[in-house]
Amino acid sequence: MIRTIFYHTGLLLAVLLIAACSTKVERIEPDQVRDLSGNWNDTDSRLVSEEMVQDLLAQPWLGQHIRTQGGQPAVIVGEIRNLSHEHINMRTFVADIQRALINSGRVDFVASRDERDEIREERRDQDLHAREDTRKAMGRELGADYMLQGTINTIIDVEGRQQVRYYQVDLTLISLADNRIVWIGQKKIKKFVTRPGVRS
Amino acid sequence: MIFKRLAIGWPSLLSLLLVLAGGGITAGCATYTETSRSLQERLVAGEPEQALQILEKRAGGREDRVLYLLNKGMLLRLAGDFAASNQVLEEAKELIDRLVVISISEQTAALSVNDAKRSYIGDPYERILLHLYKTLNYLALADYVAARVEILQADLALGQLSEQERKLGAEGIMRYLSGLVFEQTGERSDALIAYRKAFAAYHSTGGVAAIPRSLQLDLLRLARRQGLDDEVRRYRDLFGVESLPDDRTRQGRGEVTVILGTGLAPVRQEQSINVLAGSNARWYRVATPFYPPRRAAPEVEIRVVANDEEVMAVLGEDLDNLARRALEAAMPGITGRALARLVVKGSAIREVEKNDQLLGIMANIAAVASERADTRSWVTLPARLHFARLYLPPGRYEIRVEWLGSGGRVLMSRVYQGVEVQPEGVVYIQDHWIGPWAVERG
């Protein structure tokens, strides 16, 4: 009995030593879904932003704005707060939303506060150094009509090796002229994650 | 001749190799105690950068990776690099997540070589303190959203501990800090819930006496703000508070929150029993970890002074005591495994001996040499954590923190200049005074 145990232990250790030696890298397409830990990942960021922007553009506020103002609205992305259990990279999420909105071609998009500061700095520099016919004047920026704000919330329920991870992304579009909320979007993601019972 | 000696059959040879391998790996290097002491000595000398260099040199194997990261995170923090500290601590957290799952090969090694062959994942209280220190780092970086993420993760982690583990899980201080963060982000009802949980956690470990005074006042303040009169009455009776803390005095004032570490966590050492017994005179050895009794470290009190206002800091957690109680609770398991190893190693030696007496003796030596206690623990933690909250009119302050020994003698004093208090704003001052008495040489 003891002999057999030691024999198998030895074999197991040998196999483990060999198996632990190599790193494998495989290239995959950015849109290919590959869930590892169950955490918020690139696929969630992309799917949520695409679906929410689709919904945003399908609602009546857009038509109403064009009718009353006679042109397409200018939108700015404000703060999207991470109220979740995870350190989510909000920059990629905001970038995904911006990309989906700009590429729709149905709204104008205004640079964020940080980006604006850098551009204004460049204009100030142009004032001093650029040729007159290429110089861009101050005070001719496009003011935004609406600001997009939001939150990401999570509810996580854990029992032993199993957990349910629930994400809720809420976005609101607010009119800068009169604080009217013109659109509220919500997207929910639910994941069921089972962790392994043993490792090597 | 050698071939003849080695013609002992696969199982016996493997048994021998297994015991020799374990012996070979562990006999050369001592337990983790020496590394722990070297790190602490550098810290006592006020040289966290040198401690980092020592840590890099003695990073240990794959099974020590989490401990290396925990110590590194703490040393980076002590050196003032909060962002790097958080990066390293996050790596530790992710690794622990993967390692908490039982490993068959490591369990086998723990039962055939020693406990230190298992990947270090930290005691439950160390895993909670990992969140605590990440939160403190985020507060130092004024990243309150990330601090909030961290306290939510701590809440999840606490929820996964058993009742017994929670009592040894540093829950009180973690919940208290969570309340501070919720107040910072303007979520008062969540803050009150966190304070209530902190209250329950402290209460379960030491009754009303264990509840920090400032937490008592915070509970009263927030319960009153929410209009929960019954709760206010209950707390007043329980805490013996005569006059309610006046919330109006806070209006227009800012807050200075001081979070202070003192001393260093105790270092685990090895104790062993070695016996020569049996008809064929075989050595038996059982090694287990222990904490030497606490030296007469002065019970410090901490006073925080800002102009003409002063407040005594409250003890948030006695980590020295917590480490000792946690080891005590783990001892039955540790001893059980040590005894199981005795049986496993004994059988392996018998197996070898059957074929060759000399190899049997070698196997015995290897088995004894490989029997080492697992003395790993997060030794760059402070021995105690204190909190103080001051509400001050807006302005620029010089904040003085004084560590007081017996009879109110000032042992150490540190001054933080140019502390800018904004109306309704919070300034965090974090520090760690290690003191001259920390390192225990066995």
Q: Do B103 and A199 touch (CB under 8 A)?
A: yes
Interface check for A13 against chain B (CB to CB < 8 A): the answer is yes
Question: Per-residue DSSP letters for chain A?
Answer: -HHHHHHHHHHHHHHHHHHTT--------TTS---SSSS--HHHHHHHHHHHHHHHHHSHHHHHHHHHHSSPPEEEEEEEEEESSS---HHHHHHHHHHHHHHHTSSEE---HHHHHHHHHHHHHHHHHS-GGGPPPTT-PPPPSEEEEEEEEEEEEEETTEEEEEEEEEEEEEETTT--EEEEEEEEEEEEEE--SEE-
* Contacting residues of A for B137, CB less than 8 Å apart: none
* Contacting residues of B for A199, CB less than 8 Å apart: 98-99, 101-104
* Contacting residues of B for A84, CB less than 8 Å apart: 149, 152
Q: Which residue of B has its CA nearest to A159?
A: B160
Most B CBs within 10 Å, among A18, A36, A156, A199, to test the B interface: A199
* Contacting residues of B for A195, CB less than 8 Å apart: 101
Complex ipTM, two decimals?
Answer: 0.74
Closest partner CB to A6 (pick from B18, B98, B105): B18
pLDDT for A4 equals: 56
Closest partner CB to A198 (pick from B10, B17, B102): B102
Closest partner CB to A85 (pick from B18, B97, B152): B152
pLDDT for B247 equals: 63
Element (H, E) at B88: helix B82-99
pLDDT for B59 equals: 84
Q: Residues with Cβ < 8 Å from B72, sequence gap 6 or more?
A: B52, B55, B88
Q: Which residue of B has its CA nearest to A199?
A: B103
Q: Which residue of A has its CA nearest to B102?
A: A198
Q: Do B99 and A7 touch (CB under 8 A)?
A: no
* 3-class secondary structure, B237: helix
For residues A51-74, average pLDDT: 92
Which stretches within B170-257 are classed as H helix?
171-184, 188-206, 213-225, 229-239
Q: Do A9 and B108 touch (CB under 8 A)?
A: yes
For residues A180-195, average pLDDT: 92
Q: Do A198 and B103 touch (CB under 8 A)?
A: yes
What DSSP character marks residue B141? T
Closest partner CB to A6 (pick from B15, B97, B159): B15
Quick check: B264 and B40 in contact, CB under 8 A? yes
Quote the minimal CA–CA distance from B108 to chain A in Å.
7
The string over A11-40, giving b where at least 16 C-beta atoms fall within 10 Å of a residue's C-beta and e elsewhere, is eebeeeeeeeeeeeeeeeeeeeeeeeeebb
* 3-class secondary structure, B7: coil
* Contacting residues of B for A89, CB less than 8 Å apart: none
* 3-class secondary structure, B155: helix
pLDDT for B14 equals: 53
pLDDT for A23 equals: 64
For residues A178-183, average pLDDT: 94
Quote the minimal CA–CA distance from B104 to chain A in Å.
6
Residue A122 has pLDDT above 60, yes or no: yes
Q: Do A158 and B159 touch (CB under 8 A)?
A: yes
Does the domain at A39-112+143-194 match CATH 3.40.50.10610? Answer given as: yes
* 3-class secondary structure, B278: coil
Residue A6's pLDDT band, with cuts at 50, 70 and 90, is: low
pLDDT averaged over consecutive 10-residue blocks of chain B (442 residues)? 44 52 46 88 89 90 92 94 96 91 81 85 94 97 95 93 89 96 92 95 89 92 90 91 69 90 91 83 88 73 90 92 93 91 86 85 87 91 93 93 88 93 92 74 51
Mean pLDDT (chain A) is 84
pLDDT for A19 equals: 44
pLDDT for B245 equals: 65
Measure CA A129 to chain center.
38
Q: Which residue of A has its CA nearest to B101?
A: A198
> Where are chain A's structural domains?
39-112+143-194
Q: How far is residue B57's CA from residue B79's CA, in Å, rounded to a whole number?
A: 18
Closest partner CB to B351 (pick from A3, A9, A86): A3
pLDDT for B243 equals: 75
* Contacting residues of B for A200, CB less than 8 Å apart: 103-105
Q: Do A3 and B108 touch (CB under 8 A)?
A: no
Interface check for A194 against chain B (CB to CB < 8 A): the answer is no
Closest partner CB to A85 (pick from B18, B149, B347): B149
pLDDT for A11 equals: 47
Quote the minimal CA–CA distance from B112 to chain A in Å.
10
Q: Which residue of A has its CA nearest to B16?
A: A6
Quote the minimal CA–CA distance from B327 to chain A in Å.
24
pLDDT tens digits along A65-84: 999 988 899 999 888 999 99
Q: Do A196 and B101 touch (CB under 8 A)?
A: yes
Quote the minimal CA–CA distance from B267 to chain A in Å.
30
